[in-house]
Amino acid sequence: MKKRIGIVGAGTAGLHLGLFLRQHDVDVTVYTDRKPDEYSGLRLLNTVAHHAVTVQREVALDVNEWPSEEFGYFGHYYYVGGPQPMRFYGDLKAPGRAVDYRLYQPMLMRALEARGGKFCYDAVSTDDLEGLSEQYDLLVVCTGKYALGKMFEKQSENSPFEKPQRALCVGLFKGIKESPTRALTMSISPGHGELIEIPTLSFNGMSTALVLENHIGSDLEILAHTKYEDDPRAFLDLMLKKLRKHHPSVAERIDPAEFDLANSSLDILQGGVVPVFRDGHATLNNGKTIIGLGDVQATVDPVLGQGANMASHAAWILGEEILAHSVYDLRFIEHLERRRQDRVLCATRWTNFTLSAFTELPPEFLAFLQVLSLSREMADEFTDNFNYPERQWDRFSSPERIGQWCSQYAPTIAA
């Protein structure tokens, strides 16, 4: 008999899973409360960049609508402020790409529907899960809305924060000149915040996403609380002032006369994220096991851009395991977690480490930044490993590992 899979949530995790399963003739139904045509009128959803490994999965799923060679970015510029600022660059082995999710998500939904995936446009609450689980061989939950996330137990050892670690102000802007190489920029203002600049395709063509990760209580926090709609000119002037002071490598490419939100007042998002890591499955009162996927399992701060990428990876792994098994019990869970956990958990740990390291700047991290700024080879490795958070965590998981990594490249600097 054909397998029947129910998916609650139409984000990257749920849609990539659905597309993968339809390639293998698995019956898929996605539950979501938002239709494709509704996305164009929404406020900015996020500022997600897809790493090359995620783009490769999109190619395999035949949904690479915007090829990275044309719309992507090819490396990272870095800026670390202080008495002696550091500027350096690292290459990616293959380009990443960012597309406004108000374009990207409906494209995936239409592709899935065209390939035989079914959609049910309705909100799903925790009270609905038992009934839904009876209709499918396996039910997968990919959204934490309507308290669905609380169905999966929080892992306290992997959830060190009880509140947001940054006051976020993110938006899509125009009037920012591209760097000589189209690239993402990571700027650090010690004690105040981080800025990630991402070349992003939106409704009016290429624009620039600015992800301002402002330290709570710092000079930059005001950007998360000042509303563009109240006085657009005042908001833009304030942002320009703060960028010039804290993130000059970006500010120097801004044309003040052109600088504004890229499309409309909906292009800005402010708030905070509470990082959390949860169990990847739960057992309902009827004995059925449900799977948590994407943000419902691992919610991370966007400072390293890992969320959607690890969700896509986990979706692909789950799809392969669904094909390989016919009984979806605790043994199935063991197979699934053995394969997906390393990347998802390492992305979570690396992100949480970075939030603390950028705040506290421990000696071993300062030493790492110094070597990184002087070694192009190390910068290339660090940059490309955004694709592989498990490799990055191998480097950062202890002061000894950081020191050993730096020692590999220090001789090349001296030479």
Task: Give the tens place of pLDDT for each residue, 8-50.
Answer: 999 999 999 999 999 999 999 999 999 999 999 999 999 999 9
- For residue 77, the model assigns a pLDDT of 98
How far is the C-alpha of 211 from the C-alpha of 226, rounded, in Å? 15
314-335 pLDDT, tens digit per residue, is: 999 999 999 999 999 999 999 9
What integer best gives the mean pLDDT of the chain? 96
202-252 pLDDT, tens digit per residue, is: 999 999 999 999 999 999 999 999 999 999 999 999 999 999 999 999 999
pLDDT of 129 higher than 70: yes
Residue with tokens 């063509």: 205
Residue 146's pLDDT band (cuts 50, 70, 90): confident
In this structure, how many other beta carbons lie within 10 angstroms of the beta carbon of residue 123? 12
Region of residue 266 (phi > 0: left; psi between -120 and 50: alpha; otherwise: beta) = alpha
Half-sphere exposure of 394 (CA within 13 A, CB side): 11
Task: Report the candidate in 93, 150, 108, 103 with the shortest Cα–Cα distance to residue 22.
Answer: 108
Mean pLDDT of the region 387-405: 97
Residue 413's pLDDT band (cuts 50, 70, 90): low
Q: Under 8 Å CB-to-CB from 52, ≥6 apart: which residues?
A: 68, 92, 93, 94, 95, 96, 387
Residue 410's pLDDT band (cuts 50, 70, 90): confident
Residue 145's pLDDT band (cuts 50, 70, 90): confident
Give the DSSP per-residue string, 62-122: T---S-HHHH-EEEEEEEE-SSS-EEEEEEEEEEEB-B-HHHHHHHHHHHHHHTT-EEEES
DSSP run (H or E) holding 359:
helix 330-360
User: Can you give the pTM of this predicted structure?
Assistant: 0.96
CA distances 144 to 52, 298, 392, Å, are: 27, 10, 27
pLDDT of 376 higher than 80: yes
How far is the C-alpha of 254 from the C-alpha of 265, rounded, in Å? 19
Spell out the domains of the chain, with CATH numbers in brackets.
4-49+102-161+274-354 (3.50.50.60), 167-269 (3.30.9.40), 362-414 (no CATH)
Residue 414's pLDDT band (cuts 50, 70, 90): low
- For residue 380, the model assigns a pLDDT of 98
